[in-house]
Amino acid sequence: MGRIDMELWTPFIKQWEEAASACLSPDEFAELIGVHVNTLRSRQIALRNRGIMLPLLAGQRGPQPNRGKAKKVEKPEVVGTATNRVAKMFEATVIYVM
């Protein structure tokens, strides 16, 4: 973090640590410092992305490793393309007309 960032984030980090030691929930802490809960969470995520892990507040679960990512679905192997399958169903027949 740059110097300006440290000056902005340091008071918030100290407040967060005090709230965690007092077992406050995110809602209570947000009300105490006068911000919305989503602002509080976005600050926590921004600091986590910068490598600063804040202690969890009461009721928080921590980062989820695969949150928001869809599970990979196994697709069955396709033997041939659709046109090959249709062609195999209707084999060519030759009809001789006399």
Q: pLDDT 10s per residue in the chain (98 long)? A: 555 567 778 888 999 999 999 999 999 999 999 999 999 999 998 888 888 889 999 888 877 776 666 666 666 665 555 556 655 666 666 666 76
Domain residue limits, the chain: 3-49
Other CB atoms within a 10 A radius of the CB of residue 41 amount to 13
Tokens of 65: 């490793």
Least Cα distance to 47 among 97, 86, 10 occurs for 10
How many angstroms separate the CA atoms of 2 and 34, rounded?
26
Residue pair 43/12 in contact by the 8 Å Cβ criterion: yes
